[in-house]
Structures are given as C-alpha cells and as structure tokens.
C-alpha cells in the first residue's frame, strides 16, 4: 500500500469490493511493511478521536493499538471562511483531535500521548457535499456526481501531547490532507434510486460508501483508495515517519539512552556540559513521571463495565431515545433514582463516550451518541441490551469468584448462584425455562450484530442448502438467507430451544427459506445440506465431543460440501485475542483456538480447502470444503 510520491493508482469498479477490505494475509503483509513506523507508537497511549468503524478497521488491520474516544466537537465551522475545501477538512480534524486531547486529562483522568483526528469530505466544483438528510436529498447529491469526476479530501491532525513538570500539557499539532479523485459512471435514474433505497447513502458524506454497495457507482479511482474509505493510511505513515525518525528526534532519543546508561560523556564535545546536564535532567524527569496508562485502564475496566450494565438495566438509553435530550432531573424522575446518583451515572457514561453532555442556557442536558442509538437502545434492530444484561447477571458473578476458579480448576457456578436444585419441581422447571430464555435472548442479540459479517465472509454461491447446527433463535440463519437469496437454511437445535424460537423471528423478512428442526446433533440424524454452520459450538465442547461431531459431518458430507465455523479466533493483534482468552477463564470444558488451529482441525476431518476471515466483529469465520 505504501507508494512513492506521485504514483497514480487506478481501481476498476469491478475490483473495488475486493480492495476495500483487507484479507487476513494482506493485512499481515501490510503490517510487516509498516511495522517499523507503527512500532514507534509502542508503549504510547494513542487515541483515535473518531467513532467511524471504517477508520477503526483501517488502523486496526495494520496492527495499531489505540483507544477510541469520539470527539464532541460540533462540525459547524463556517465553510465560507475557507478558501479551499481541504482547509475546512484539516481544521475540522484538528478541532476534533484537540477537543479529545484537552478533555481526557479531566474527564478520563489520563493524558494521551497522541490523538488522531480525521475528517473526510466530498467536493464537486468547489462545493462540499454533506451527508444527505433524506432520500430526496441523497438523489440530489448523487445526481451532482453522476458521470463526473469529483474529489475526496481527508484532513488529518496528529496531536502530540507532552505533560510538563508543572503539570501543564503542551500540544504540538501536525496536520495534512490527502486528495483522491473519483469518477462516477454514467448511471441511470433507476440504478441511483436502487442504491438510495438500500439505505447506505444516509450516513455517508457525498451520499455513497465506496467500500460497500457504492463501489458499483464508481468507474475509477485516481489516488489513495483508503482515503475515500475514510483514512489516508499511506500519507499518515509517512507523517509518523517524519515525526519519529527526524534527525532531531533521533539525537534526543540517543542522548536519553546514553544518560540512562551513565555514558553522557560520549556525546560529541561540541555540546556543552550545561546542555548535557539539561538533557540528562529531562530524560530522568521523563522516566520518573512515566505513567502506566494501560494498567490504569485495566484497573478502571470493571467500573466502566458496571456503569454500562447499570445504565442498560435502568433503561437510561431507552429513555434518552424518547426525547432529543433530557436533564439529569428528568432522567432521575423517570427511573425513580436520586438526582445525585443519576447525575453521577450519566457523567460516568459520558466519560465512556456513550452519551453527549450539552449546555443549553442554564440547563445541562444529555443525549445518546449515534453508536449508542444503534446498539444500546432496546428497540433498535442491532440492540445488544440482552447480551449486556446477561453479562451483568450471569457472567459478572462468575468473575467475582475467579480466584477460586483458578485455584480449584472447576466451575464456580454454585458459589455464584447457589447449589442447583436436585429435586425436580414445577418451580425449578419454570426457573430453568426463564434462564434458558435469558440465554437465548443474549445469544440472539450478539448473533444479530455478528450475523451479516459472518454471512458475507465467503462466496457461498455454490451452496444451495445449509444447516445451522445449534442455531438457537435462528438469527444467524436469517442473516445467511437475507444475504444469499438462493440459500435455504435449516436450524437444528434441541426441542426445548426450537419450541421458543417463534418469539425471535424477524419482522418484515421472508421467513420461508428458514425452517426449524428439533433434535440432538450427537444422537440424532442430521438434516442433509450442502453447508453446515457451527457458530459458537466447538469452543465449549470437550475433545471427545468435537471428534464425534466432526467425524459425523465428515461421513455425511460429499465432495463439494462445506463446514463453516464461526468462533472467536485467538490470533495476535485481533480483537478476538483478549476477548477469547478472557472468556476462557470461566469455561469448565472446551478450548478457545486460533484460526490456524481451527484450520488444522477441519483438515483433519477431510475439509482441506480452507479459507479464513477475521471479521472485526464478535465472531470470526473459517470455511472448510471437501475436495
């Protein structure tokens, strides 16, 4: 991806979808190329002042480790004050980053080393095109671009924060912009409206997303493709190289190293002893005041989780979704809480970046962020509330007994929830059903968020029938049937589970291609299918049951049939690494595995044509096909 200055890159429209998302092997190669630059950030608290999932994915895929703290800066700069469109993008990026850099020491109680801000705009004829407000506006914007070449600018600001001895913070700003030219094909009105009806244009500057369906509108791209997606990675890495590899920074680093080793005398003689003493003092001061940011974050991690759990349980996000904004007094009244306690909870959630705090005259008010509205309001299609409540009520108590679990090597379920009732009774039966329904709701909410990523991980056009083993509520199956119109899916699960599945069927979607069959995949015959899906199944099974299930699949699968596993992969540098390892702490059986280990497992049972996909979502995916 790194190119020499002035090099022009053209991307035919047919290649756009392939280019916009890194494959795992491409990501690994790119990480190796950029490692000398990215490694300069090791040990530093790097913050991305943006909630954009596209920027997050671009930077994560090259191995950068950072925190996401969305900026509260309102993007309301007067565009008429800027002579060039890119000046507006750069200034907006700078203000976003500075807002986060200055807020964190007070709201988050930690000072970042580096804050990255970015703003992407689309311009045609010198006019900056905003995000469309409705479908008619989207048509107006896309019509302006139709058949023409336009420019996409991303302004980037890198804020270097230095905490001085008097506890003042010094901010150094490095900013730049990148321009990419994009040519739209000459499209019919029918095609434009098809794209608009997909809903994709509504949250995109310029009304299109090149990394998704919008790639079909584009004839060619001249320049950095990732700049159009939302972040100019190539230019960013060059700026990092300038910052950390300039002669002045090398000399300063060398002086510090020599001073630390007691070798300051080896600094060239043209530097006075006074200068050497000053450098030694500065190096010692920097070492003395180095703060363990990562450890501090981990110490506060459980508090942040509990604040999120509590806000969900008290339906704070649902309440704020019902109004444009509410004061702490209004929220307290609606949840029957104390004003002081409610205000503190709201401020805590603001510090986590899940709420916005506004000053309206003499009133302080709160409102949901865009991400909160999508994932934390219970009526949202992608709501994670049920999974969050399950973590609070069923997972949190297990972790409070983690020390005992480590020492004994057994489940601490009885310590956390009391001994299981041995005598069958109506009450026990009802209680079991309630817990089972709670678990199903939790898995359903997670599967809805992860489902589309897993379903689109591979080309499944060669399969006509699929069987989702242990498919629970059918959320994953419905995601597959929605993405692949030619695919029919059978959900195969225990009778008690299938009995309760009707409650979870999606509204407004064709249900005819998803059917539910009751059975036990260890003792009963499996439905015949071209593709078998196992989502979150293998990781919790003991070795003998993994062998039994995969042997059974190997026997019934003919050449061309496949097995698609969806699990958390323990691969270094991925989201799943820490998530899977932490989850394993309370597992009493089964094993979390890396993608390579799952690949070897599939190959052992005859599924030798293996493809791997790190989705960046809750679950990754691996497909094995019998040759």
22: pLDDT confidence band, cut at 50, 70 and 90?
very low
Structure token pair of residue 554: 């190997």
Please give the Cα distance from 345 to 343 (Å, whole number). 5
Distances (CA, A) of 334 to 327, 328, 331, 347, 427: 11, 10, 5, 17, 33
pLDDT of 13 > 60? The answer is no
Per-residue pLDDT, 574: 65
pLDDT of 423 > 70? The answer is no
Distances (CA, A) of 474 to 33, 438, 451, 489, 611: 42, 15, 10, 9, 24
Beta bridge partners of 57: none
Spans of all domains in the chain: 13-245, 247-288, 293-380, 435-625
pLDDT digits (tens, 9 = 90+) for 466-494: 999 999 999 999 999 999 999 999 999 99
Residue 465's nearest CA partner among 531, 519, 533, 510 is: 531
Beta bridge partners of 424: none
pLDDT digits (tens, 9 = 90+) for 388-402: 999 999 999 989 888
Q: What is the mean pLDDT of residues 300-324?
A: 94
pLDDT digits (tens, 9 = 90+) for 199-226: 888 878 888 888 888 888 888 899 999 9
Per-residue pLDDT, 478: 94
- Superfamily of domain 435-625 in CATH is Vaccinia Virus protein VP39 (3.40.50.150)
Please give the Cα distance from 386 to 392 (Å, whole number). 10
CATH number corresponding to 13-245: 3.90.950.10
Structure token pair of residue 21: 């998302």
Q: Put residue 115 in one of left, alpha, beta given phi > 0 → left and psi -120 to 50 → alpha.
A: beta
pLDDT of 193 > 80? The answer is yes
Per-residue pLDDT, 289: 52
Residue 602's nearest CA partner among 556, 544, 540, 549 is: 549
Q: What is the mean pLDDT of residues 612-616?
A: 88
Per-residue pLDDT, 290: 64
Highest average pLDDT, of 203-207, 393-397, 508-512, 575-579, comes from 393-397
Structure token pair of residue 419: 């001994």
Residue 215: burial class (beta carbons within 10 Å; 0-12, 13-18, 19+): buried
Q: What is the mean pLDDT of residues 177-202?
A: 89
Please give the Cα distance from 165 to 416 (Å, whole number). 47
* Residue 158, phi then psi, degrees to nearest 5: -110, 115
- Euclidean distance between the first and final Cα of the chain, in Å? 34
Distances (CA, A) of 215 to 20, 138, 195, 526, 548: 9, 16, 11, 40, 44
Per-residue pLDDT, 579: 82
pLDDT of 536 > 70? The answer is yes
pLDDT of 67 > 80? The answer is yes
362: pLDDT confidence band, cut at 50, 70 and 90?
confident
Quick check: 357 and 320 in contact, CB under 8 A?
Answer: no
The residues annotated with a catalytic role in the active site are: 119
pLDDT of 25 > 70? The answer is no
Per-residue pLDDT, 35: 60
Per-residue pLDDT, 419: 63
Helices and strands: H and E segment counts in the chain? 25, 17
Q: Which of 128-132, 173-177, 303-307, 611-615 has the lowest mean pLDDT?
A: 128-132
Beta bridge partners of 532: 467, 563
- 559's CB contacts (< 8 A; 6+ apart) are 626, 627
Q: What is the mean pLDDT of residues 531-547?
A: 94
DSSP 453-520: HHHTSS--TT-SEEEEET-TTSHHHHHHHHH-TT-EEEEEE-HHHHHTGGGGPPTTS--TTEEEEE--
pLDDT of 409 > 90? The answer is no
pTM metric for this prediction: 0.56
Please give the Cα distance from 255 to 251 (Å, whole number). 6
Per-residue pLDDT, 18: 38
Residue 405's nearest CA partner among 525, 260, 560, 583 is: 583
Q: What percent of the chain has pLDDT over 70?
A: 83
Per-residue pLDDT, 506: 82
Structure token pair of residue 489: 């899916």
Per-residue pLDDT, 420: 55
- Decide yes or no: CATH 3.30.1490.190 for domain 293-380: no
């Amino acid at each position: 991806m790194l190119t020499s200055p002035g090099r022009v890159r053209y991307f035919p429209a047919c290649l756009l979808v392939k280019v916009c998302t890194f494959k795992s092997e491409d990501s690994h190669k790119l990480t190796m190329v950029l490692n000398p630059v990215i490694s300069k950030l090791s040990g530093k608290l790097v913050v991305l002042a943006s909630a954009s999932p596209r920027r997050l994915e671009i930077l994560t895929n090259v191995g950068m480790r950072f925190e996401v703290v969305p900026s509260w800066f309102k993007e309301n700069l007067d565009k008429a004050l800027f002579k060039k469109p890119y000046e507006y993008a750069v200034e907006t990026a700078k203000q976003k980053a500075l807002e986060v850099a200055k807020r964190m020491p007070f709201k988050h109680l930690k000072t970042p080393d580096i804050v990255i801000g970015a703003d992407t705009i689309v311009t045609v004829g010198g006019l900056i095109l905003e995000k469309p407000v409705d479908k008619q506006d989207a048509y107006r914007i896309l019509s302006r671009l139709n058949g023409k070449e336009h420019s996409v600018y991303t302004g980037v600001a890198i804020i270097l924060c230095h905490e001085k001895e008097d506890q003042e913070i010094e901010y150094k700003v490095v900013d730049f912009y990148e321009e990419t030219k994009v040519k739209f094909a000459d499209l019919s009105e029918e095609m434009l409206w098809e794209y608009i009806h997909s809903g994709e244009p509504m949250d995109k500057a310029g009304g299109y997303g090149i990394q998704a369906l919008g790639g079909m509108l584009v004839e060619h791209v001249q320049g950095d493709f990732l700049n159009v997606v939302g972040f100019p990675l190539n230019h960013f890495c060059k700026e990092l190289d300038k910052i950390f590899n300039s002669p002045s920074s090398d000399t300063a680093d060398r002086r510090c190293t020599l001073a630390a080793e007691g070798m300051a005398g080896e600094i060239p003689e043209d530097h006075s002893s006074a200068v050497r003493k000053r450098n030694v003092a500065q190096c010692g001061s920097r070492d003395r005041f180095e703060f363990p940011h990562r450890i501090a974050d981990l110490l506060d991690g459980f508090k942040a989780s509990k604040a999120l759990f509590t806000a969900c349980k008290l339906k704070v996000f649902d309440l704020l979704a019902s109004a444009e904004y509410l004061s702490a007094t209004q929220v307290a009244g609606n949840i029957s809480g104390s004003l002081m306690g409610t205000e503190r909870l709201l401020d805590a959630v603001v510090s986590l970046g899940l709420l916005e705090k506004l000053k309206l005259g003499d009133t302080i008010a709160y409102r949901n962020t865009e991400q909160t509205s999508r994932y934390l309001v219970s009526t949202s299609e992608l709501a994670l509330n049920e999974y969050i409540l399950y973590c609070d009520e069923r997972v949190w108590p297990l972790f409070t007994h983690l020390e005992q679990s480590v020492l004994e090597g057994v489940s601490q379920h009885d310590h956390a929830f009391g001994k299981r009732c041995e005598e069958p009774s109506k009450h026990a039966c009802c209680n079991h059903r309630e817990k089972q329904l709670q678990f199903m709701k939790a898995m359903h909410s997670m599967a809805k968020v992860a489902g589309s990523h897993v379903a689109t991980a591979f080309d499944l056009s060669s399969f006509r029938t699929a069987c989702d083993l242990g498919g629970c509520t059918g959320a994953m199956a419905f995601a597959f049937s929605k993405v692949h119109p030619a695919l029919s899916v059978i959900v195969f699960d225990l009778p008690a589970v299938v009995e309760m599945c009707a409650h979870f069927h999606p509204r407004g979607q064709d249900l005819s291609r998803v059917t539910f069959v009751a059975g036990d995949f260890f003792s009963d015959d499996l439905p015949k299918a071209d593709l078998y899906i196992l989502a979150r199944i293998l990781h919790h099974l003991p070795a003998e049951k993994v062998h039994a299930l995969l042997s059974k699949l190997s026997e019934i699968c003919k050449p061309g049939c496949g097995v698609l596993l969806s699990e958390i992969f323990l691969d270094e540098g991925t989201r799943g690494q820490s998530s899977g390892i932490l989850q394993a702490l309370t597992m009493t059986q089964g094993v979390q595995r890396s993608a390579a280990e799952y690949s070897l497992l599939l190959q052992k049972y005859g599924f030798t044509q293996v493809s791997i996909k790190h989705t960046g979502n809750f679950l990754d995916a691996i497909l094995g096909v019998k040759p």
